[in-house]
Chains A and B, each alone.
Chain A
C-alpha cells in the first residue's frame, strides 16, 4: 500500500494582484523525509511553503494534509494540523526573554517563570544549542534568534517543520548541530521542508529535492538524481522576457577609478575583500544571501565599521577615507540606497517632499537650519516628474504609495544628495514590473552621465541586464569578475556557490 503523503499540493497557485507567485504546482511531501526546496530569490519557495503554514491562502488548487483536503484560515489552523514554519525573519517578541518566547501562547492566568526556564534549558540542551533562556531576545544575535525559532518549532511536536534558510545565520559548528537535529527529526518520523541557497547542504541532508523557478516546479526527484551543476541549471534556466532580462549588447567602457576597496574585513561577514569601481559604468555585484555584499557596501558608505585593526583601506577619488557614519560619506559623494526601504529608506508617515527635503538637509552640513517650505515643494515636484512617481496627491505619505513608487522616493532621496557614486542594494526588490523598467532606465541614464554606479542584486537577470561589469561575492569577498560580454547566468552562479 502506498504511503499517504503528509502534505500534497495539487495545482496550487498563488497570485498577488494578478501576478502569479506560484503557478500550478503539484507536489508532495512523504512522512519522515527531508525535502529541499531550491530556487533563486523570488522563485516562489517562501510563498509556496507559506501556503502550507497558513500564512497565505492559495488563489486556486487543492492542499491536502495526510490525505484530507484542508483550507487554513491562519497559521494557527496549520499548526493544529501539525505544520510549523521557522521563518527567515524571526517572529520572536524582542522585549521578552527566550524562555517566555519559547512558550508564547501557553500562558496561564498565573505563571511560574522558574519551571518555564528549566524546561527551556532542557530543550536547548537536548538540541545542543547554546542559548540562555533568561536572555532578552533583543540582545541576541540573528543566529541565536534562529535557534530559538527552531527550538520553538521542535517543541511543538509537529508532523512537518518548514525551515526557511535556517543555516544562513548559523556558524559552522551550529550548522553541525542543526543537521544532527534534522536527522533526529527524520528518525522520529517528522517531515522537514528545507529551503536553502546552500546547494552543498541540500545535497548532503535531504532525501528529495525540488527546484522552483519563477513560481513553477521545474525539477523534482531523489537527491541521487541531482548534482550541483544540474541544480544550478534548473535554478537559472528561465526564459527571459526581452525587455527586462535581455543581456546588454552595448557595454560602457570604464572611466577613471573612483573607488578602491583594498583588503577590507569586518568580522566574519566581510573577509579581506578587494575590488575597484569605475566612473561612467554600472558595476553589478551578485552573491547569495550571506555573501557579504550588502555589508561591504555599508562599510563603504559608512553605515558599518570595518575592523578597527588591519581592517583594510578604502580610497575614494584618490583619497583614503574611513567614514564612521553615513553623513561624511554622503558629503564626500557616496550614497547607499538600502535594500530594506521600509526600515532604513524613508520616514513612512512623512510626505514625499518632506522625505526628499530631509535627505537634502542630511547631505549638506552647511545648509540653513530653517525649513524652506517652498523649496520642499519645488523639490517634490521636480522629482515627481523626473522619476514618474505616481500618487493621488502630492502630499501623500510615503506609506500610502505602492512598493515601486516607494522605491522611487528612496532613489530620489539619494539623488538629491548629488552623489558621485551611488550604491543600489536590491533596487527592484518587491517592485512591480513597470517600476522595474523605470528604475533600470534611470540607473542607465545616471551611468551615462558619468556617475559611478554599483548595483547589488540577488536576481541574475537584473545583474545581466544592467551591468557593464559583474563582480561575484562569496563568503565575504569578491571572488570573481566578469566583463558583461563573458558573463552568463551559469558562470555567475557557479562562481557564487563553488
Chain B
C-alpha cells in the first residue's frame, strides 16, 4: 500500500506513463503505404483461408476474395448483426457476431449456434481458431461490452476476457484462460502452443499449459489478431500505437471518467482505428519547435502496423503506416503464397504486401 502511494507520487511502477520505443525490427517505415489495395469498403475485419480462397468479414457480411490479375470479391453469407470474427477448417466456417453468438456454417455442424460457454453468456467473440474439425478455440474479448464497444472496455481498464475450448460435437466447453485483458487474437503455432494476443496488456501469451507463459510483453502497440505463417513465424497486427498521453489518461481516473461521460466516444483521447478525418479531433503529429527540438504536442491515436515475430517472441521485420497515412487499424492478416493479405479496418481496405517485406 505504502509503495503504491510512492509509485503514484513518483509516476513509477504501475503508475508510470512511459511507453517502449518502436525501434529495432519495429522501426517505423512507410512500407504499408506501398502495399497493393485489393478491396475498398467500410471496416473490413477478420481474414481467414476458406475453400481455397481468402474470406473476410465486413459489416454483417462475409466476402470471398479471389486473387488474380484483377481481385474479385463476392458475398458468401449475410447476418443480422455485424460479424466480429471468423474461423475456418475444411468446409466449416465459424462466424462470431456482435450480438454475442457464434454460428457454424457448412460441414458436420452446419447451423450450430453457440451462445453460452461454461456458466456464462458469450458477449464479445473477437477471435476464433479451429483446433480440429470438431474443436473450436474461442476468444471472448470482454464480459462487459460487445466487440464494438472495445474502446470503452479499454478505457475502463477491464480484464474480463477469456479463452475457451469448445467441443462442437458434445457442446461442452473448457475454460483455458480467464481474466484476460481483451484477447484479440488467437492461433496455434508450431510445437502445439496456443498464442493469444492480450491487447490491453500489450502482450502475447502462450496458454497451452496450465499457467500462461508470456511470449513477448511491453509491446509499443495494441496487438490485434495474430496468424501463424508456413515458415513457423507469427504475423502480429497492431491497430493503434501506445502513447504517453493515453497511458497518462488511463491512470487519471477522474479525468478519464469526465472524458467518457462528457465527450463523444470518437473524440476521446484513446487508441483509435482511424483518426484525423474530423476537424473536431485533436490534430495528429502537431508539433512545435523549442530550442531547436521538435516537440510533439498531440500524439497519434491510430496507426498501421504488421509485424512478423518468431515463436521465441523476437520481432523480425515490420511494415508500417505512420500517423500521416490512411492505412491504419490493421486488425487481421493471413499468408497467401508469397503475399501477406491484411485488413486495414481503420482505412477501409484489404491490402497485400510481399511476405518477405512483412
Instruction: List chain A positions with a Cβ less than 8 A from chain B.
Output: 172, 200, 253-257, 260-264, 274-276, 278, 308-313, 315, 318, 320, 322, 469, 471, 475, 478, 481, 483
Q: Does B314 interact with chain A (Cβ within 8 Å)?
A: yes
Besides the known contacts A274-B21, A311-B10, 12 further A-B residue pairs in the complex with CB atoms under 8 A apart = A254-B314, A255-B314, A256-B313, A256-B314, A257-B314, A262-B18, A274-B18, A275-B21, A276-B20, A309-B10, A475-B292, A481-B23
| Beta-carbon contact of B314 and A262 below 8 Å | no
Instruction: Identify the closest chain B residue to A260 (Cβ).
Output: B20
Q: Contacts A260-B218, A322-B12, A475-B292 hold; do A278 and B17 have CB atoms under 8 A apart?
A: no
Q: Contacts A308-B10, A311-B12, A322-B12 hold; do A263 and B19 have CB atoms under 8 A apart?
A: yes
Distance between Cα atoms of A483 and B23 in the complex (Å):
10
- Provide 13 A-B residue pairs closer than 8 Å at the C-beta atoms, listed in order of the A residue: A256-B312, A257-B24, A257-B314, A260-B20, A263-B19, A274-B20, A276-B20, A276-B21, A309-B9, A310-B11, A318-B214, A481-B27, A483-B27
Residues of B within 8 A of A309 (CB): 9-11
Distance between Cα atoms of A320 and B14 in the complex (Å):
10
Residues of A within 8 A of B292 (CB): 200, 475
Q: Does B211 interact with chain A (Cβ within 8 Å)?
A: no
Residues of A within 8 A of B23 (CB): 274-276, 471, 481
How many residues does chain B have at the interface if contact means C-beta atoms less than 8 Å apart?
A: 27
Q: Contacts A256-B313, A475-B293 hold; do A310 and B20 have CB atoms under 8 A apart?
A: no
Residues of A within 8 A of B12 (CB): 311, 313, 322
Contact mask B280-302 → A, CB, 8 Å, 1/0?
00000000000111000000000
Contact mask B215-254 → A, CB, 8 Å, 1/0?
0011000000000000000000000000010000000000
Residues of B within 8 A of A478 (CB): 21
| Beta-carbon contact of A313 and B293 below 8 Å | no
Q: Contacts A310-B11, A315-B218, A481-B23 hold; do A263 and B314 have CB atoms under 8 A apart?
A: no
Q: Contacts A255-B314, A318-B217, A481-B27 hold; do A262 and B20 have CB atoms under 8 A apart?
A: yes
B47 nearest CB across to chain A (Å): 28
Q: Does B25 interact with chain A (Cβ within 8 Å)?
A: yes
Distance between Cα atoms of A346 and B78 in the complex (Å):
75
The 10 A-B residue pairs whose C-beta atoms are closest, nearest first, are A262-B18, A263-B18, A274-B21, A310-B11, A313-B18, A260-B20, A312-B18, A275-B21, A313-B16, A481-B23
Contact mask B14-37 → A, CB, 8 Å, 1/0?
001111110111010000000000
Residues of B within 8 A of A255 (CB): 314
| Beta-carbon contact of A278 and B24 below 8 Å | yes
Considering the complex, which residues of chain B in the window 12-71 have a beta carbon less than 8 Å from any beta carbon of chain A? 12-13, 16-21, 23-25, 27
A260 nearest CB across to chain B (Å): 5
B105 nearest CB across to chain A (Å): 41
| Beta-carbon contact of A172 and B20 below 8 Å | no
Instruction: Identify the closest chain B residue to A271 (Cβ).
Output: B293
B322 nearest CB across to chain A (Å): 15
Residues of B within 8 A of A322 (CB): 12
| Beta-carbon contact of A310 and B314 below 8 Å | no
Q: Contacts A255-B314, A276-B24 hold; do A263 and B218 have CB atoms under 8 A apart?
A: no
Distance between Cα atoms of A308 and B16 in the complex (Å):
12
A392 nearest CB across to chain B (Å): 46
Residues of A within 8 A of B20 (CB): 260, 262, 274, 276, 315
Distance between Cα atoms of A261 and B20 in the complex (Å):
7
B151 nearest CB across to chain A (Å): 24
B32 nearest CB across to chain A (Å): 18
Residues of B within 8 A of A276 (CB): 20-21, 23-24
Contact mask B305-332 → A, CB, 8 Å, 1/0?
0000000111110000000000000000
Distance between Cα atoms of A483 and B28 in the complex (Å):
12
Residues of A within 8 A of B313 (CB): 256
| Beta-carbon contact of B24 and A254 below 8 Å | yes
Distance between Cα atoms of A469 and B27 in the complex (Å):
11
Instruction: Identify the closest chain A residue to B314 (Cβ).
Output: A256
Instruction: Identify the closest chain A residue to B293 (Cβ).
Output: A475
Distance between Cα atoms of A183 and B293 in the complex (Å):
27
Instruction: Identify the closest chain A residue to B28 (Cβ).
Output: A481
A300 nearest CB across to chain B (Å): 14
Distance between Cα atoms of A255 and B313 in the complex (Å):
10
Residues of A within 8 A of B17 (CB): 263, 310
| Beta-carbon contact of B21 and A262 below 8 Å | yes
Residues of A within 8 A of B218 (CB): 260, 315
Residues of B within 8 A of A254 (CB): 24-25, 314-315
Instruction: Identify the closest chain A residue to B313 (Cβ).
Output: A256
Distance between Cα atoms of A384 and B218 in the complex (Å):
42
Interface centre among B19, B24, B313, B316 (most CB of A within 10 A): B24
Distance between Cα atoms of A172 and B27 in the complex (Å):
32
B73 nearest CB across to chain A (Å): 37
Residues of A within 8 A of B314 (CB): 254-257
Distance between Cα atoms of A414 and B108 in the complex (Å):
65
A173 nearest CB across to chain B (Å): 11
Considering the complex, which residues of chain B in the window 68-114 have a beta carbon less than 8 Å from any beta carbon of chain A? none
Residues of A within 8 A of B316 (CB): 253
Residues of B within 8 A of A261 (CB): 21
Distance between Cα atoms of A274 and B20 in the complex (Å):
7
Residues of B within 8 A of A262 (CB): 16, 18-21
B27 nearest CB across to chain A (Å): 6
Instruction: Identify the closest chain A residue to B25 (Cβ).
Output: A254
Residues of A within 8 A of B9 (CB): 309
B262 nearest CB across to chain A (Å): 26
Instruction: Identify the closest chain B residue to A263 (Cβ).
Output: B18
Residues of B within 8 A of A483 (CB): 27
Distance between Cα atoms of A471 and B12 in the complex (Å):
26
| Beta-carbon contact of A310 and B10 below 8 Å | yes
Residues of B within 8 A of A475 (CB): 291-293
B161 nearest CB across to chain A (Å): 23
Residues of B within 8 A of A311 (CB): 10-12
Distance between Cα atoms of A257 and B306 in the complex (Å):
19
Instruction: Identify the closest chain B residue to A476 (Cβ).
Output: B293
B315 nearest CB across to chain A (Å): 8
